[in-house]
Structure 1
């Protein structure tokens, strides 16, 4: 067979295959004029070849003039133009596109749903035609209506809404729940991005567009997520959260997005209310701390005045016993005053760094009664923060234990040593006060200092022991604490 014969046979076979294809096909020129149509397409549309070949596709299949929402011509034109300009196939979302009833009354249209795919025919780097492939999915849509009703009920129950977006043609296919959620008119179907995004708050719209533009460059099935605000017709604002995936109907098709959105307005309102409550709480805490600071300052001043009066009376007292008792009382007041002074001077108004405080207290005691009997007073505290209701009783306890060590342990002798230390054992603070004296006689009557110490031990829920010490006398107090 000659070459011409082979070519003729090949062309005949191509024409036969085109005609026998199980799906509907139109062959269009670059201006969208119908060049050829196969049998399946004629059957799907109820058309005759003579009705279509040589006509512009939009003249052959105009929008239904009785449907003011019809957008089939617009969306199909955008898809064909996209395939022609990008030289890439473009798959459209399911499109309602009513078709004329060829053998009916003039102006009669039949409702149909289609799944179109438009593929450019390229020769020599230029688009010489387009293949318009359609699947009639009307029956599927009808069969899915019951399921759709159930799905919409589920969406209402769970506050979810489905929609699709084609970034290239800037068209969106919205469900009725999404349209309501987005503040659009009560509708379901395809619309332009301008209409779909128009209710979005202006400052959020650019971010939404940027999210789609960035995600469109990613591989298939890449995730997309964003949050935006919409302004409803009445002026109220609503927060929506959207999640979806980038999909293609086949390997070389241009991408589109399948998304689900839910209304998170109440969650956002709760977040705002919570943030406001936290701010109010923080403001109250600041006010409370300022008030506590002022209270500590005034208490310190008042106690200093009391201590000054006691010291003045002690210096004037002629009786040694009275003078001693007044000076002991002034020492106790000073121990409490020091805690309030440290609370006032620090940023903390309810807790104190007990290590530095104990050092200051021991320095004060060392310069007082201890110096008078030439006793050496050392201090080895652990670093820990204690609440004021722990620090004040402990300060008084150290004051009394050191005073007892000077008066009874060293028994007025000179050159002795007194050691004050603290340590941590689990959730307990261990206070130890030891001296090189012999301690208080067992037969001695408990004095005021001893009774004060016993009361403080009970107040702190502590335990006190005086284990045998061959080098002198030691008192150990175990105080349960929760370090702050």
Structure 2
């Protein structure tokens, strides 16, 4: 309780502008020292509000000098800010001082905005917020002075004001809400926005925590309670975060994502939780729709893979049938040009057939491991025409996955180059060698086919096989070069892979 100050030993000496005792007693000097050393601002006025004395802290708070204040009317020294039409500091402070003077009892003011004039040539005012207490000094029953005690709360007040602005601005968003959960009292202090989220009457206030927990989806309730319980013994400012569904009275389901901090009133107290919740229902719905779309995509891709596998199987069977027919016709044709052409046609079909067979047998229905495939193809050619002609076929292939639209033309090119080498370059040569290699150079696949034969006859007429190779190179958007292998002939084809 605050009492009026009885100061019987003091007398006012306005001519000296300070309060002293009659004999400059030790008590008087001590009082003056305490007054000057006080950590808060003190200003003393007489009953007509003329400034009698002021301590150093008050001078520091207001940026003034003692000689500019003592003997001056308080409201002349500290007028209202003329640039603030809402300024009410002079009126409210005068009423408080009058109340303390007239009643002989202290009067505590609410926090008051009272701007302070800037001393110096620049002039103007600086914003200040104060917590004032006005206390009468009594000599007997007479009020002889008033002590104006102030605490500068400007920083705290502006912080709270800005925080309130941010809070109001945030709560204007329908999907964001603030609330507090107090496990000690099993209550929730809900903002208007949070109450609306819970489909309660949109009113700010305290409600039983059960009203909140009852709205949480039954499958999520234990998880939310655990999120709070797990940090009850944690240090202050420990974060808590959780997401859950709300089941509203109309049966609708909403999703909330909540983040907060643990706070304590003192070290050993059970904590409270200050929480902000965001309605993420639309985001969850989009996530669910995306998940369904991805599942549908995966289903369609699997279906596509199955269908492509079946297509490759049927194509392989059909081409195998065509190859068999061509081989049968070749055998019936007897030796000669017709038989040779039929056998080469059958070999071309078989080259394509083997690609579709590999596609069908592998888990990938649209790409093949071309290195393995090329070795198999060369093995088949070595067991066929090359073996018959006594030619050794060597294959050195790098492993790379190629889509079918690149693998099939390359297979046909290898088939034609090997056939041409056997037919033309190595004809009549014993122990001939054909070497098929592939390598990766940057983003390109380089195919090289060389033979140890007599080389290319530049005067020879271009045959069907050569024209087929040229067409396939164009189809692959590749480049082809030929040259002397000393001995023999070399063909180099460079195929851009891009994103293959």
Instruction: Spell out the pairing of 1:54-203 with structure 2 (5 A cutoff).
Output: 151-152=167-168, 154-157=170-173, 159-203=175-219
Q: By percentage of residues, which structure has more helix?
A: 1
- 1:325 deviates by 0.3
Indicate the residue corresponding to 1:309 in structure 2: 325
Indicate the residue corresponding to 2:340 in structure 1: 324
Indicate the residue corresponding to 1:471 in structure 2: 487
Indicate the residue corresponding to 2:367 in structure 1: 351
Instruction: Spell out the pairing of 1:34-433 with structure 2 (5 A cutoff).
Output: 151-152=167-168, 154-157=170-173, 159-318=175-334, 320-433=336-449
Whether the aligned pair in 2 keeps the contact of 1:386 and 1:483 (CA below 8 Å) is no
Partner Cα separation in structure 1 for residue 421 and residue 166 of structure 2: 86
Once structures 1 and 2 are overlaid, which stretch shifts more, 407-416 or 267-276?
407-416
**CA 1:145–1:370: 2 relative to 1, 3 Å:** closer
Once superposed, what is the RMSD of the aligned Cα atoms? 2.1
- Find the residue that maps to 1:184 and give its secondary structure: coil
- 1:372 deviates by 1.0
Cα offsets for 1:63-109 (capped at 9, x unmatched): xxxxxxxxxxxxxxxxxxxxxxxxxxxxxxxxxxxxxxxxxxxxxxx
Whether the aligned pair in 2 keeps the contact of 1:355 and 1:384 (CA below 8 Å) is yes
- Find the residue that maps to 2:215 and give its secondary structure: coil
Partner Cα separation in structure 1 for residue 178 and residue 165 of structure 2: 13
Whether the aligned pair in 1 keeps the contact of 2:378 and 2:395 (CA below 8 Å) is yes
- Find the residue that maps to 1:477 and give its secondary structure: strand
- Find the residue that maps to 1:254 and give its secondary structure: coil
Q: Which one has a bigger Cα radius of gyration?
A: 2
**CA 1:151–1:246: 2 relative to 1, 3 Å:** closer
- 1:479 deviates by 0.5
Indicate the residue corresponding to 1:454 in structure 2: 470
Indicate the residue corresponding to 2:453 in structure 1: 437
- 1:482 deviates by 3.6
Once structures 1 and 2 are overlaid, which stretch shifts more, 190-199 or 249-258?
249-258
Whether the aligned pair in 1 keeps the contact of 2:451 and 2:485 (CA below 8 Å) is no
- 1:218 deviates by 1.1
Once structures 1 and 2 are overlaid, which stretch shifts more, 294-303 or 461-470?
461-470
Once structures 1 and 2 are overlaid, which stretch shifts more, 350-359 or 463-472?
463-472
Whether the aligned pair in 1 keeps the contact of 2:232 and 2:270 (CA below 8 Å) is no
Cα offsets for 1:380-417 (capped at 9, x unmatched): 10001000000000000000000011111112423101
Whether the aligned pair in 2 keeps the contact of 1:244 and 1:260 (CA below 8 Å) is yes
Partner Cα separation in structure 2 for residue 354 and residue 441 of structure 1: 31
Structure 2: which 5+ residue stretches go unaligned? Answer: 4-155
Whether the aligned pair in 2 keeps the contact of 1:358 and 1:381 (CA below 8 Å) is yes
- 1:467 deviates by 3.0
Which stretches of structure 1, 4 residues or more, deviate above 3 A after TM superposition? 144-154, 249-254
Partner Cα separation in structure 2 for residue 370 and residue 277 of structure 1: 53
Partner Cα separation in structure 2 for residue 329 and residue 255 of structure 1: 86
Cα offsets for 1:152-187 (capped at 9, x unmatched): 453233621000011222211110100111222333
Indicate the residue corresponding to 1:31 in structure 2: none
For normalisation by structure 1, the TM-score amounts to 0.68
- 1:264 deviates by 0.2
Whether the aligned pair in 1 keeps the contact of 2:455 and 2:484 (CA below 8 Å) is no
Between the two proteins, the alignment pairs up a number of residues equal to 346
Partner Cα separation in structure 1 for residue 335 and residue 166 of structure 2: 99
- Find the residue that maps to 1:157 and give its secondary structure: coil
Whether the aligned pair in 2 keeps the contact of 1:384 and 1:483 (CA below 8 Å) is no
Once structures 1 and 2 are overlaid, which stretch shifts more, 416-425 or 153-162?
153-162
- Find the residue that maps to 1:466 and give its secondary structure: strand
- 1:483 deviates by 5.9
- 1:461 deviates by 0.7
Indicate the residue corresponding to 2:43 in structure 1: none
Whether the aligned pair in 2 keeps the contact of 1:183 and 1:231 (CA below 8 Å) is no
Partner Cα separation in structure 2 for residue 150 and residue 462 of structure 1: 64
- 1:146 deviates by 12
Partner Cα separation in structure 2 for residue 327 and residue 352 of structure 1: 26
